[in-house]
């Protein structure tokens, strides 16, 4: 069938939206406990489930309709305040969200029917909801909702709540509806599940004679007299998937007009007639948006704006009496305000990356133009000025391009409400999660990649950090443990903290363990922080060691590896009996770094600026030895010239750039210091994948290539070399 592809596309849209909705559902359920009946949280949750049910129905996914219907019924009771939210209810609802997601994923893989397994899982989940439903009506089929009047109220402002409203629906489906797998009759059938189709007329005006008829084109239109208690927006949303090609009009029935007029009379004044109509429920947001679009088209070329009200009346969206009532309420501000668009737009990440890449190129090209200007003589100061102005603009463009990738970290944090809940139930601990700083923004790519390490840290805190309630009480702590997720911006980085008020790391046992594992010598004198750092060492602990070790468990080395791969650092702060804080520091974006440009011979290197602590001159005495004294402390250093085998004689006066990584300081000996340089990172090709101390490259304004040093491995390597040297010396 030729419509397979198009149907597939519609189904893709369904899957994408359904995934979002399921996430809304999960978040809604988690917030349910704190939300009073009738609050926006409860309403939003109800709507999300309702929409899921509706769109599943359109695609004939009966198993999903049946499952979501029960949840919808239950949430409706919550919404009306007839059912109190208890932790038990939340616990019973949460796996339902997961189940819906599984069903959606099955649909994404082309399976539109439930497997027997899924059916029995679904039935079991629903049976757990049974106690919450009145009279155990849990498994009632969707049709049952027709009779039971669900309240119309989305908020108190809706017209006559708890009352059925009559509507006149004019449905002109797009000619390709059938080909796209959208059967108009399926929509009508669905309508009759959320209301009553009082009368229906099939309009055959456009049905052509036999010869001209294309049997796959939709010619039929429908006029429907409809009574339902759901709000207009919900009726509209039923037609979501055909809206684009179809002409769907939903007009209030005659007896309803008066109630709208009365309702509008009670509303506060507003600048915009559209707002008034939306608030009264007489028009939906989409209808107003469509009308405004039309208004814009009409007004093009014309001297005066066509009034929005006129268009709404003409399009049969809102009856004239209602528009007039709304006009009376419109504030006479004289001028029509610019439309404030706070809408969001989904953009393909690849396009965004391409834009950022281009802007990066622009920065480079701009920098080279700057170099030309600077080397030019002073007579051309005008050029230099223009140049610096362009530079400023380019930088602004770059910043705003990068900000497109920025998302609040709160979306990631929200996942943890679930993790904390599930894990603490599993472990029999009581833990409250406190999230702060969720609006701190960070690159989307980073957010995605930091999720797993964070889950690890959170699980660790719950598992090994926070004690069981009885033990906590014994230690004079509240039985309920606290886990805190915090994020904030700090000097070009984002800092993410996972803090618990648990028992803290046991210094002695970590040391004991490390000696046992041969990570440190038995007699080694280590500072506390050096000891705590050991938990990040590979091989420090294995899965078997987790349960009997009072510190952190498996895979902390993996966490550190992941964080380091993102050019970040992780540190631990802990106090016995008081708690542990894991602090991850990450760059805001992976695309650009603030670098420090240095030269060795004819080569250039970039050192990430956040690693640089200071620059000093290489003392004369240090020649030949790879350590120097810095304010009374011994500082090991690395000669980049030797490390990268660069030919030529070192400069007469060499400099040392002091870098710090995880509390360890090392000097890098270079010939020349060029200063700060904002660097657009170009990843190295696969050929260089094994280059150990280089994390990327960039192109300088002069067209030359500078390599970006990967300070982490460089410093770690140095420590190992030192240790080997030390071991030799001891032996």
Partner 1 sequence: MTGLALSDELTIVTAAETRERLMPYLVGGADLELDLSAVSDIDTAGLQLLLMARQEAERRGVTVTLTDPSPVVRDLLTFTRLTGELGL
| Residues forming the site for partner 1 (CB under 8 A) | 1, 3, 177-179, 183-186, 188-189, 192, 197, 199-202, 204, 207-210, 213, 215-216, 218-220
**Minimum distance of partner 1 from residue 208's CB (angstroms):** 8
CB of 196 to partner 1, least distance (A): 12
Q: How far is the CB of 185 from partner 1 (least distance, A)?
A: 5
Nearest CB to partner 1, comparing residues 57 and 122: 57
Minimum distance, C-beta of residue 1 to partner 1, in the bound complex (Å): 7
Least gap, CB of 206 to partner 1 (angstroms): 10
Q: Which residue has the tokens 């049976």?
A: 127
**Dihedral sign from CA coordinates of 627, 629, 633, 639:** negative
**SS3 category, 575:** strand
Q: Tell me the C-alpha distance between 112 and 337, whole Å.
A: 47
Whether 185 and 286 have beta carbons less than 8 Å apart is answered as no
Q: Residue 80 or residue 192: which is nearer to partner 1 going by CB?
A: 192
Q: At what angle do helices 273-280 and 254-266 cross, to 10 degrees?
A: 120
Question: Minimum CB separation from partner 1 for residue 215, in Å?
Answer: 4
Cα–Cα distance for residue pair 153/410, rounded to 1 Å: 31
- What is the number of other CB atoms lying within 10 angstroms of the CB of residue 204? 9
Report, in Å, the least distance between residue 179 CB and partner 1: 8
Instruction: Please state, in angstroms and rounded to a whole number, the distance separating the CA atoms of residues 434 and 442.
Output: 20
DSSP string, 161-177: TTS-EEEEEEEE--TTT
Provide the minimum distance between the beta carbon of 213 and partner 1 in the complex, in angstroms, as a whole number: 6
Determine the Cα–Cα distance for residues 47 and 52; give it in Å rounded to an integer: 8
- In the complex with partner 1, the residue whose CB is nearer, 198 or 434, is 198
Measured from the Cβ of residue 126, the count of other Cβ atoms closer than 10 Å reads 21
Contact 639, 626 (CB under 8 A): yes
Nearer to partner 1, 157 or 245 (CB): 245
Smallest CA-to-CA distance from 279 within 218, 325, 217, 216 is with 325
Tell me whether residue 3 or residue 368 sits nearer to partner 1 (CB atom): 3
Cβ at position 226, least distance to partner 1 in Å: 13
Question: Do residues 109 and 49 touch, judged by C-beta distance below 8 A?
Answer: no
Q: Closer to partner 1 by CB, 37 or 186: give it.
A: 186
Cα–Cα distances in angstroms (integers) from residue 504 to residues 461, 486, 545, 552, 581, in the given order? 9, 18, 17, 9, 9
Distance CA 243, CA 347 (A): 22
Could you give the 3-state DSSP secondary structure of residue 189? helix
Instruction: Compare residues 218 and 278 and give the one whose CB is closer to partner 1.
Output: 218
- Least Å distance, CB 168 to partner 1, is 15
Residue closer to partner 1, measured from CB, 108 or 197: 197
Output 6 or 98, the one with its CB closest to partner 1: 6
* DSSP codes, 5-29: HHHHHHHHHHHHHHHHHHHHHHHHH
Nearer to partner 1, 199 or 645 (CB): 199
- Let me know: does 196 contact 146? Beta carbons within 8 Å: yes
- Whose Cβ is closer to partner 1: residue 58's or residue 668's? 58
Burial of 571 (0-12, 13-18, 19+ CB in 10 A): middle
Contact predicate 706/678, CB 8 Å: no
Q: Give the nearest distance from C-beta 173 to partner 1 in angstroms.
A: 8
Can you read off the two tokens belonging to residue 504? 């803290």
């Amino acid at each position: 069938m030729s419509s397979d592809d198009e149907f597939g596309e519609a189904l893709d849209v369904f899957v994408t939206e359904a995934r979002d909705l399921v996430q809304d559902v999960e978040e809604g359920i988690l917030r349910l406990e704190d939300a009073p009946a009738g609050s926006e949280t409860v309403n939003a949750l109800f709507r999300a489930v309702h929409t899921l049910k509706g769109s599943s129905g359109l695609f004939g996914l009966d198993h999903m309709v049946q499952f979501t219907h029960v949840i919808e019924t239950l949430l409706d009771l919550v919404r009306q305040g007839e059912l109190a939210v208890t932790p038990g209810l939340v616990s019973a609802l949460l796996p339902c969200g997961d189940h819906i997601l599984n069903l959606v994923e099955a649909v994404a893989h082309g399976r539109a029917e439930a497997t027997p397994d899924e059916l029995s899982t679904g039935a079991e989940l629903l049976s757990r909801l049974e106690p919450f439903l009145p009279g155990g009506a849990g498994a009632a089929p969707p049709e049952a909702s027709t009779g039971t009047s669900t309240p119309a109220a989305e908020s108190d402002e809706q017209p006559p709540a708890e009352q059925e409203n009559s509507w006149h629906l004019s449905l002109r489906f797009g000619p390709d509806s059938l080909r796209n797998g959208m059967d108009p009759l399926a929509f009508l059938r669905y309508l009759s599940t959320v209301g009553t189709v009082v009368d229906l007329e099939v309009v055959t005006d456009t049905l052509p004679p036999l010869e001209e008829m294309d049997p796959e084109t939709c010619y039929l239109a429908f006029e429907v007299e409809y009574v339902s208690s759901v709000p207009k927006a919900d009726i509209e949303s039923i037609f979501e998937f055909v809206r684009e090609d179809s002409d769907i009009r939903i007009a209030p029935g005659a007896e309803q007009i008066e109630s709208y007029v009365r309702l509008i009379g009670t509303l506060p004044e507003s600048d915009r007639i559209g707002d008034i109509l939306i608030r009264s429920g007489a028009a939906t947001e989409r209808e107003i948006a469509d009308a405004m679009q039309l208004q814009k088209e009409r007004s093009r070329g014309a001297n005066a704006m066509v009034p929005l009200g006129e268009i709404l009346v003409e399009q049969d969206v809102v009856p004239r009496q209602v528009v007039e009532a709304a006009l009376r309420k419109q504030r006479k501000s004289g001028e029509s305000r610019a439309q404030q668009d706070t809408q969001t737009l989904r953009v393909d990440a690849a396009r965004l990356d391409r834009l950022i890449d281009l802007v990066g190129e622009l920065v480079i090209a701009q920098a080279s133009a700057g170099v030309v200007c600077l080397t030019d003589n002073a007579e051309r100061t005008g050029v230099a000025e223009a140049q610096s102005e362009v530079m400023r603009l380019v930088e602004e463009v770059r910043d705003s391009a990068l900000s497109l990738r920025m998302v609040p970290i709160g979306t990631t944090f929200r996942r943890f409400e679930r993790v904390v809940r599930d894990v603490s139930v599993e472990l029999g601990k009581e833990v409250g999660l406190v999230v702060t700083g969720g609006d701190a923004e960070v690159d989307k790519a980073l957010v995605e990649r930091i999720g797993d390490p964070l889950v690890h840290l959170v699980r660790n805190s719950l598992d090994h950090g926070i004690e069981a309630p009885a033990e906590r009480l014994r230690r004079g702590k509240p039985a309920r443990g606290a886990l805190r997720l915090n994020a904030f911006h700090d000097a070009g980085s984002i800092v993410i903290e996972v803090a618990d008020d648990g028992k803290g790391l046991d210094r002695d046992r970590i040391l004991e363990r490390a000696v046992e594992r041969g990570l440190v010598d038995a007699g080694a004198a280590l500072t506390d922080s050096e000891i705590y750092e050991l938990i990040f060492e590979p091989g420090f602990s294995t899965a078997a060691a987790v349960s009997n070790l009072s510190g952190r468990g498996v895979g902390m080395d993996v966490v550190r590896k992941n964080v380091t791969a993102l050019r970040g650092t992780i540190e631990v702060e802990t106090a016995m009996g008081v708690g542990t804080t894991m602090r991850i520091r990450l760059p805001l974006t992976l695309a650009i770094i603030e670098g420090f440009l240095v030269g060795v011979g004819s080569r250039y290197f970039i050192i990430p600026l956040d690693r640089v602590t200071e620059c000093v001159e290489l003392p004369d005495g240090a020649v030949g030895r790879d350590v120097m004294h810095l304010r009374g402390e011994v500082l090991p250093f690395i000669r980049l010239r030797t490390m990268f085998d660069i030919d030529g004689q070192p400069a007469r006066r060499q400099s040392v750039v002091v870098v710090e990584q995880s509390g360890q300081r090392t000097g890098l000996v270079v010939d020349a210091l060029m200063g700060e340089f904002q660097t657009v990172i170009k990843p190295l090709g696969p050929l260089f994948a094994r280059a150990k101390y280089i994390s990327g490259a960039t192109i300088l304004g002069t067209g030359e290539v500078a390599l970006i040093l990967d300070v982490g491995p460089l410093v770690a390597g140095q420590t190992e070399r030192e240790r080997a040297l030390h071991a030799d010396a001891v032996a």
